[in-house]
């Protein structure tokens, strides 16, 4: 039987509130550093100063700068410097490192041919990592730079929140499912993908297993065609909270639950699936991860945005000459998706924005 969208589309805010209701943040887990990137930091430890003492920043001769005043090729100073390799602790009483070419070694005493200043060629204690620096920012994703600091500080694991995501690919939407899975992994989720055995209601329903995930997505089969059965399968196994949303692109997205596990049925079209990801899945992931609010970047519009009243529309933007240039409104090409730097939601009650209006947009890649 052919599905039908309701004559009255569900407002975006109403559907999102229903999806988030009674959903709690996942418990923190301790992960090896290599697995923690992209996950949301929680309970970040305070690191000791690094390096713990002054070390050589380069290979060379360790000396005291005060002892080198007046040294030059015309007035060399006879001394007994100590050779250090980069990373070695500085010898007692030494506060600079001279390059090999600045010291001539031809007898029992070396001839120093140049002056130096205190700290030259030296990495000071605590200069890389100050004492009590947190290993990551609480409530924000762990970045590669955070892992660098954690590694040099000797940490092997971090506590993070990492929601478990199950993706069910309905036959015919493989490219979109693979794209969403890649985006989800980059966002720090623990992702597992599955294929529905067929495109019919029973086969899709069989793949809707929420026993080992915090969030479930289906990709494809959410429309109203004769072979679109994902929403019927969700209704068979759980509860459909809304199907047919006042959102463009993404109108045929559905949201629901399997027990206490939230479910989003994404359309099979890449642009519609990505729009639903931005407006429904990201807020849900942020809620599950106890992430702090995402940053918006405010720039003036390079040209006006016209939007119809009654349906929320997502606008793709590119930054050009310190302004937001609209690339696509409501309908997206794949080329526009690839070029986009940010996205903006135009509320259903709004007719758009005039050129030059400052608007706050969310970055596509943080």
pLDDT of res. 304:
95
- The answer to whether 215 and 26 have CB atoms below 8 angstroms apart is no
CA distance 221 to 215: 18
Among candidates 124, 147, 178, 182, which has minimal Cα distance to 44?
147
Percentage helix, strand, coil for the chain under 3-state DSSP, each rounded to 5: 25, 30, 45
User: Residues near 244 by Cβ (< 8 Å), separated by ≥ 6?
Assistant: 5, 6, 9, 10, 251, 252, 254
The DSSP-derived string for 248-266 is ES-TT-EEEEETTEEEEEE
Cβ pair 214, 220 in contact under 8 A: no
- The sign one gets for the Cα dihedral 211, 213, 215, 216 is negative
Contact 118, 90 (CB under 8 A): no
Q: For position 173, what pLDDT does the model report?
A: 83
228 near 243, Cβ under 8 Å? Answer: no
For residues 197 and 290, the model is more confident at: 290
Whether 139 shows a pLDDT value over 60: the answer reads yes
Structural domains in the chain? Answer: 12-26+163-289 (3.40.980.10), 36-49+129-160 (no CATH), 55-123 (2.170.190.11), 296-363 (2.40.340.10)
111 versus 227: the higher-pLDDT residue is 111
Quote the pLDDT of residue 1. Answer: 45
Task: Give the pairing type, strands 261-266 and 215-219.
Answer: parallel
pLDDT tens digits, 302-328: 999 998 888 999 999 999 999 999 999
Given a contact cutoff of 8 angstroms between Cβ atoms, the answer to whether 41 and 146 are in contact is yes
Omega of the bond leading into 346 within 30 degrees of 0 (cis):
no
The pLDDT of residue 107: 73
- Average pLDDT of 130-155? 90
**Minimal CA–CA distance to 346: which of 333, 335, 357, 334?**
357
pLDDT of 52 reads 92
pLDDT digits (tens, 9 = 90+) for 22-55: 999 999 999 999 999 999 999 888 888 899 999 9
Quickly tell me which residue has 């002892």 as its tokens: 67
Q: What confidence tens digit (pLDDT) does each residue in 176-217 have? A: 999 999 999 999 999 999 999 888 999 999 999 999 999 999
What angle (nearest 5°) sits at the alpha carbon of residue 217, between those of residues 216 and 223?
140
Instruction: State the pLDDT at residue 6.
Output: 57
Backbone φ, ψ for residue 147 (5° rounding): -65, -35
* Cα dihedral 108/114/115/120 (nearest 10): -90
Higher pLDDT, 225 or 349: 349
Q: Identify the burial level of 177 via C-beta atoms within 10 angstroms of its C-beta, where 0-12 means exposed, 13-18 middle and 19 or more buried.
A: buried
The whole-model pTM stands at 0.84
CA distance 172 to 176: 9
In sequence order, the β-bridge partners of residue 218 are 168, 265
Nearest Cα to Cα of residue 113 among 61, 187, 170: 61
Could you check whether the bond before residue 246 is cis, i.e. omega within 30 degrees of 0? Answer: no
Instruction: Please compute the mean of the pLDDT values over residues 79-103 and round it to a whole number.
Output: 95
Q: How confident is the model at residue 3 (pLDDT cuts 50, 70, 90)?
A: low
Which tens digits make up the pLDDT trace of 327-366?
Answer: 999 889 999 999 999 999 999 999 999 999 999 999 998 7
Statement: residue 124 has pLDDT above 80:
yes
Q: CA–CA separation, 312 vs 11, rounded Å?
A: 8
pLDDT at 106: 80
Maximum C-alpha span of the chain = 98
Q: What is the pLDDT of residue 61?
A: 95
């Amino acid at each position: 039987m052919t599905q039908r969208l309701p004559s009255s589309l569900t407002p975006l805010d109403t559907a999102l509130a229903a999806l988030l209701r009674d959903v709690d943040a996942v418990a923190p887990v301790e992960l090896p550093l290599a697995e923690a990137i992209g996950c949301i930091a929680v309970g970040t430890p305070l690191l000791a100063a690094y390096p713990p003492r002054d070390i050589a920043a380069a290979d060379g001769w360790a000396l005291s700068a005060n002892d080198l005043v007046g040294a030059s090729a015309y007035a060399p100073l006879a001394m007994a410097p100590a050779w250090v390799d980069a990373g070695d602790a500085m010898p007692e009483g030494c506060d600079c490192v001279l390059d090999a070419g600045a010291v001539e070694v031809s007898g029992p005493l070396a001839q120093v041919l140049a002056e130096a200043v205190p700290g030259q060629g030296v990495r000071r204690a605590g200069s890389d990592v100050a004492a009590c620096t947190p290993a990551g920012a609480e409530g924000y994703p762990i970045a590669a730079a955070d892992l660098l600091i954690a590694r040099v500080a000797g940490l092997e694991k971090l506590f993070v929140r990492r929601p478990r995501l199950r993706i069910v690919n309905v036959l015919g939407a493989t490219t979109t499912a693979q794209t969403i899975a890649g985006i989800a992994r980059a966002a720090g989720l623990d992702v597992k993908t599955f294929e529905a055995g067929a495109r019919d209601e029973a086969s899709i329903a069989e793949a809707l297993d929420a026993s080992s995930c915090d969030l479930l997505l289906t990709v494809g089969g959410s429309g109203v065609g004769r072979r679109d059965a994902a929403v019927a399968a969700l209704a068979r196994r759980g509860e459909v909270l809304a199907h047919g949303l006042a959102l463009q692109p993404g109108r045929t997205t559905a949201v629901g639950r399997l027990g206490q596990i939230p479910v989003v049925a994404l359309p099979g079209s890449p642009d519609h699936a990505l729009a639903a990801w931005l407006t429904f899945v990201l807020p849900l992931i942020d809620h599950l991860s106890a992430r702090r609010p995402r940053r918006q970047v405010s720039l003036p519009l390079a040209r006006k945005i016209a939007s119809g009243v009654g349906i929320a529309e997502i606008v793709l933007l590119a930054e050009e000459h310190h302004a937001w240039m609209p690339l696509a409104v409501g309908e997206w090409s794949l080329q526009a998706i690839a070029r986009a730097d940010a996205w903006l939601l135009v509320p259903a009650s709004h007719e758009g924005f005039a050129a030059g209006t400052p608007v706050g947009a969310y970055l596509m890649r943080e």
